[in-house]
Structure 1
Amino acid sequence: MKSYPAWVVLTSLAAAQFTVMLATSIVNVALPQVRAGVGLSDGGTTWVVNAYGLAFGALLLAGGRAADLLGGRRVLIAGLALFAAASLAAGLAVSPGALIAARAVQGLGAATIAPAALALAVGVYPSGPGRGRALAVWGAVSGAGGAGGVLLGGVLTQAFGWPWVFHSVALAAVLVLVAVAALVPSAAGRSAGGFDLVGTAAVTLALTCLVWGLTTARGAGWTDARVLGALIGAAALLAAFAVIERGRPDALIPPRLFATGRVAAANLLMALLGSVWIALFFFLPLYQQQVLGMTPLSTGTGQLPLAVAIMLGAAVAPGITRRIGGTATVTLALLTEAAGMVWLARISADGSYLADVLGPSILVGLGLSTAFVQLTGLAVDGVPPPDAGLADGLVNTTRQVGGAIGLAALATLAGSVTAHASGHQPPPEALTAGYRAAFAVSAAVLAATALLALPLTRTTPRLPDRTTDYAPVA
C-alpha cells in the first residue's frame, strides 16, 4: 500500500472521530421535531440521546480490544460501515422503537470507530511535540464535532426536516470510510490473547441497568421498584465484573493497564468531565428553542462561538502546558469551564442569546477542549503498543459512560425541578428553573474535578510531551 504523509493519515482518522462526535450532538436541536415526527414521550426523547451514548460507552472497551486483536484499520472500516447503515436506518424510522434501536446500533458502530481511530492516530507520530500536536488536533475535532453537530442539526432540520440529521451522518461515514481505506496503513503490533466475552456482557448489562434506572427515576420516582431493582442490579453486575476480571489472562481491563498510575487518574477525571459534556449539548439547545423561542437554524448558528472556542482551546493547549505545566493547565481549564457553567446557571426566562448564552459558551468551550486534550494525553501515557486500542477505548468509555450517566441524572434533576415549579410558575419559567439546576450542578461537578486534578495529575507535569512510545506506522 502506498505510504502517505503523516498529516494526511491523521486528517482521515480525525475525520472519523469528528463524524462520531457529530452524531452525538446533531440530533439535539432536532429533538422537538423528532419527538413530534415519531411520537416520542419525554422519557423516549432522552433515550434518543442516551441509546447512542450508552451503547457507545458500554462497548468501547470491547471495540478497543477488538482493534488490538484484529487490527485497527480493519476494525475501523467495519465500524464505519455499520455506523453508516445504522444512521440511514435512524433517518428512515417511523416509530420510537425503531429510532431508538437504530441509535443503539449507531452507538455500537461508534464504539468500534473511536478507539481504533485514536490508536492508529497516536501511532502515526513518535512521542514528543508531534504527539502533542496530534492530540491537540484530536481534541479540536472532538469538541468541534459536538458543537458543529448542533449547528448542522439546526440547518438541516429547518431546511430539509429531522431525518436529514441522520442521513447526513450516514453520508459522512461513507466518505470517511473511503478515505480510510485509501489512505490509512495497517498498524503493527497486534495484541495476543482472546476476547473477554463474559466480562464484556457483565459490564455492558451493568451500565445499561444503571442508566435505565437513572432515566426511569425521572418519571417513576426514586422509590419505584423498577428503579431500585435496576440500580441494585447494576451494582451487583459491576461487582460480578470485578470478580470475573480478576486473574483472567484475557481480561477486558487488565491490571497492567494501570501500571503507570496515570491511566486510572485520567479516566476518573475524564468520567467527571464527560458527565457534564453531553448534558451541555442537550440542555443548551432546548433552552434556546423552548424558552428563548429561537428557530432550529438560529439555535445551530448560535453554537458557532462555542465551536470556535473549542478549536481555539485545543490549539493553544500544548503551548499553555509547556509554560505552566500539565497540572496547572488541567486545573485552570476545568475552573474556566466551571465559571461558564455558573454563568449559565443564571439564565432567565426573559433572557436573550447575547446576555445569557454567548459569553458562557466561550468560557465553556475554551475550558472543555483544553481539559480534553490534557486528559487524553494522560490516559495513553506509558501504555505499550499492544494495549493501545484498549487504553484509547477505556478513556473514550469513561467519557461516554460518564456522559450517559450524567445526562440521565441531570435530566432527572431538571425534570423534577421543572415539575415542582410548574405548580406556581408559567411553563417558560418552570423549564428555565430546571435548566438552571442542571447547569449549577454541572458547575459544582467541574469545580470538584479541578480539585481532584491537583493531586492526581502531578505525576505528569507535561502531558502532551510525555505520551506513549508507540512506533510510527506511517
Structure 2
Amino acid sequence: MTSPDQSTAGVDDTSPRVRIGGRERLILAVLLTAGFTLAVDFSILNVALPAIGADVGLSLGGLQWIATAFSLCAAGFTLLFGRIADLFGRRRLFLAGIAVLGLSSLIGGSAGTPWVLIVARVAQGLATAAVTPAALSLLTTSFPEGPVRDRVLGLNGALMAAGFTTGAILGGVLTDLLSWRWAFYINVAVAVVVLLLAPVVLSESRPERRPALDVPGAVTVTLALLAIVYGLTQAGQKSWGDPHAYGALIAGAVLLIVFWVIEQRVPQPLVPVRVIRRRTVGWGNAAGLLAFATETSVVFLLTLYLQEVLGYSPLAAGLSFAVLGVGTVVGGVIGPRIIGALGNRNALVAGFLLQAAATLPLVFLDDRPWWIVVLLATTFVGGVANLVAIVAFMVTATSGLPDEEQGLATGLATMSQQIGITMGIPIMSALATARINALGGQTPHTVLHGVSLALTVNAAACVLAAVLLGVFLRASGRARTPAGTAPQR
C-alpha cells in the first residue's frame, strides 16, 4: 500500500476516467443509501419538534432531548463501534446497526409517550454510531486507495452533506402534508431494502487474528465523548456559563487525558498512539471537525436570519437551503478531481479558503429582501467548497493505513464529523446571543448584528484552518508529479 506522503511519479491519475463495475455499483448503492438515510436523521425532526411535543406530551424544555439523545449516542459511541467493526466484522456490525435503526424507527413513529420516543432516539443514535463507521470502512476496504476510492468518498461526502439539507426540507414537507411520524417510518422502508440487499452484495471484512478489545480505553473514551457532546448541547441550549455545560466539558477533557495515558500503556490499545500521531490522521481529522462545525453553524445562523429578519416560514427557510444541497453534491463530484490535481493538503487549503470567501459576503446581510439572491449564490459556492474540504479530509484521514485499521480510521473520521456538527452551532449561537443581548435583546435589528458577528468569526475560522493545514500537514495525495521529481514534503 502506498504511503499517503508519496506521489506516483510520472503518472497522471486524473487522465483516465475512473470506472466502477456492476458489483461495485451495488455495493455503493447499499452503503450510500444507508449513509444518506443516517445523515437525514440528524436534521429531519428539527422542524417537526413543536408538532411532536404536542402529540406525545413533551414540554417545550424537554424537546431538546429529542435531538440531544440522538447526538449523544451518535457521537459518543462512534469510536468504540468503529473499532468493534475492525475486530468482529464490518458487515456484521453494519447489518446489526441497520436492523436496530429500522426497529427503533418503527417504535419512534408509533410512540405515544415521551419516554418511548426518547428511547427510540437513543437507539437510533446507537445505530448511527455503529453503521456510519462500518459503512465507511466497508467503502474504504472495497475500493483500492487511489482515484477510485477518492471518487467513492466524494460521492459519500456529497450524499451525506446533501442528507443534512434534505432532512430539514423533508421534515417540513412530511409534517405539513402527512405527519411527523413519517419522518421515522421512512427509515423502516430503507432498512428493509438494505437488509435484503446487503448480505448478497457485501463481503465480510475483519482481520484473521482478532486482537483483544481495550476495555479500559473503550469505556474512558466513550464517557469522555458523551461528556463533551452533552456539555456542548447544554451550552447551546442554555449558556456557556451553565454548570452542567462547563462541568461536563471539563470532565470530558480530563477523561480524554486519562484515555491518552491508558492508550500508551495497554498492549493492544483501542487507538494506537502511533496512528493519532500520523499527520494525515491528526490534522486530517482536525480539518474534518472544522469543516462540519463551520458549515452546519452557517446553516443555523442563516436560518435565524431568514426567519427572524426576513420573516420566512420554517418550511420556506428550509427550502432556501436546497441550493446549498446542490452545491454540496457538485463539491462531492468534483472533489476527487481537485484532489487528483492538487493533492490532499492543497485541496483542503483551497476548500477552506473558498468557503471563507463565500461566507464573507454574508457578513453584510441586511433586512432588504433582495439579499436572498446573494445568500443563495454564496451558499451554493460555500457548499461546493465545503464538500471539497470534506472529501479531502476523508481521503487524508483514511489513506496509508492497512485494511485492519480502517474501522479505527473511519471511526475517528466519523467522530470528528459528528462532534463538528454538535459543536459548531453552540459556539456560533453563543456569539450571536451575546451580541444580541449586548444590544438590548432580540429584535430583527439585533439578530442581524448577532448573525453578522458569528459569520465573521466563522469565516475567520476557515482562514485559520487553511493556514494551519498549509503549514503543518505534509503535501500528499495523487497530484501529478513530473517523472524523476521527488514528491513534495
Short-chain TM bin = 0.7 to 0.9
SS in 2 for 1:345: helix
Correspondence 1:38-187 to 2 at 5 A: 44-94=62-112, 98-187=116-205
After TM superposition, the structure 1 stretch with the greater mean CA deviation from structure 2, 164-173 or 390-399, is 164-173
Gapped runs of 5+ residues in structure 1?
466-474
SS in 1 for 2:429: helix
Once residues 202 and 464 of structure 1 are traced to their aligned partners in structure 2, the CA distance between those partners, rounded to angstroms, is 43
1:201 is aligned, of 215, 219, 244, to 219
Alignment length, in residue pairs? Answer: 461
Deviation (angstroms), 1:126: 1.9
2:282 maps to 1:264: yes
For the Cα contact (< 8 Å) 1:191–1:386, is it kept in 2? no
2:250 is aligned, of 212, 232, 247, to 232
What one-letter code is carried by the residue in structure 2 that aligns with 1:355?
Answer: V
Q: Deviations over 1:51-75 (max 9, x none)?
A: 3233212211111111111111110
After TM superposition, the structure 1 stretch with the greater mean CA deviation from structure 2, 20-29 or 297-306, is 297-306
Once residues 324 and 411 of structure 1 are traced to their aligned partners in structure 2, the CA distance between those partners, rounded to angstroms, is 35
SS in 1 for 2:364: coil
What one-letter code is carried by the residue in structure 2 that aligns with 1:48?
Answer: I
Q: Deviations over 1:305-356 (max 9, x none)?
A: 1111111111111222333333322111111222233233333345457335
What one-letter code is carried by the residue in structure 1 that aligns with 2:376?
Answer: L
Decide whether aligned partners of structure 1 residues 361 and 228 sit closer, same or farther in structure 2, where only a CA change above 3 A counts.
Answer: closer
Gapped runs of 5+ residues in structure 2?
1-20, 482-489
- Hey, what does 1:410 align to over in structure 2? 428
Once residues 184 and 355 of structure 1 are traced to their aligned partners in structure 2, the CA distance between those partners, rounded to angstroms, is 45
- Hey, what does 2:378 align to over in structure 1? 360
Decide whether aligned partners of structure 1 residues 33 and 275 sit closer, same or farther in structure 2, where only a CA change above 3 A counts.
Answer: same
2:339 maps to 1:303: no
Once residues 171 and 52 of structure 1 are traced to their aligned partners in structure 2, the CA distance between those partners, rounded to angstroms, is 20
1:441 is aligned, of 457, 475, 478, to 457
Correspondence 1:344-383 to 2 at 5 A: 344-351=362-369, 354-355=372-373, 357-383=375-401
What one-letter code is carried by the residue in structure 2 that aligns with 1:208?
Answer: L
Once residues 96 and 418 of structure 1 are traced to their aligned partners in structure 2, the CA distance between those partners, rounded to angstroms, is 33
What one-letter code is carried by the residue in structure 2 that aligns with 1:13?
Answer: L
- Hey, what does 2:37 align to over in structure 1? 19
Deviation (angstroms), 1:128: 2.3
SS in 1 for 2:250: helix
Decide whether aligned partners of structure 1 residues 351 and 174 sit closer, same or farther in structure 2, where only a CA change above 3 A counts.
Answer: farther
Deviation (angstroms), 1:40: 5.9
- Hey, what does 2:343 align to over in structure 1? 325
1:399 is aligned, of 417, 429, 435, to 417
Once residues 476 and 258 of structure 2 are traced to their aligned partners in structure 1, the CA distance between those partners, rounded to angstroms, is 33
Once residues 134 and 49 of structure 1 are traced to their aligned partners in structure 2, the CA distance between those partners, rounded to angstroms, is 30
Deviation (angstroms), 1:137: 1.4
For the Cα contact (< 8 Å) 2:240–2:430, is it kept in 1? no
SS in 1 for 2:45: coil
Once residues 215 and 415 of structure 1 are traced to their aligned partners in structure 2, the CA distance between those partners, rounded to angstroms, is 15
After TM superposition, the structure 1 stretch with the greater mean CA deviation from structure 2, 103-112 or 218-227, is 218-227
For the Cα contact (< 8 Å) 1:378–1:463, is it kept in 2? no
Correspondence 1:234-249 to 2 at 5 A: 234-249=252-267
Once residues 61 and 364 of structure 2 are traced to their aligned partners in structure 1, the CA distance between those partners, rounded to angstroms, is 26
Decide whether aligned partners of structure 1 residues 190 and 266 sit closer, same or farther in structure 2, where only a CA change above 3 A counts.
Answer: farther
What one-letter code is carried by the residue in structure 1 that aligns with 2:248?
Answer: A
SS in 2 for 1:9: helix
Decide whether aligned partners of structure 1 residues 170 and 408 sit closer, same or farther in structure 2, where only a CA change above 3 A counts.
Answer: farther
Query: Percent identity over the alignment?
Result: 34
- Hey, what does 1:468 align to over in structure 2? none
What one-letter code is carried by the residue in structure 2 that aligns with 1:155?
Answer: V
Decide whether aligned partners of structure 1 residues 190 and 347 sit closer, same or farther in structure 2, where only a CA change above 3 A counts.
Answer: farther
What one-letter code is carried by the residue in structure 1 that aligns with 2:128?
Answer: A
Structure having the higher Rg: 2
After TM superposition, the structure 1 stretch with the greater mean CA deviation from structure 2, 273-282 or 325-334, is 273-282
Once residues 244 and 30 of structure 1 are traced to their aligned partners in structure 2, the CA distance between those partners, rounded to angstroms, is 43
Alpha-carbon RMSD across the aligned residues, in angstroms, is: 2.9
Decide whether aligned partners of structure 1 residues 28 and 120 sit closer, same or farther in structure 2, where only a CA change above 3 A counts.
Answer: same
Decide whether aligned partners of structure 1 residues 186 and 308 sit closer, same or farther in structure 2, where only a CA change above 3 A counts.
Answer: same
TM-score calculated relative to the size of structure 2: 0.85
- Hey, what does 1:460 align to over in structure 2? 476
Q: Deviations over 1:255-304 (max 9, x none)?
A: 24246431111011112222223334444445434543334443333222
Deviation (angstroms), 1:449: 0.9
For the Cα contact (< 8 Å) 2:351–2:388, is it kept in 1? yes
2:230 maps to 1:216: no
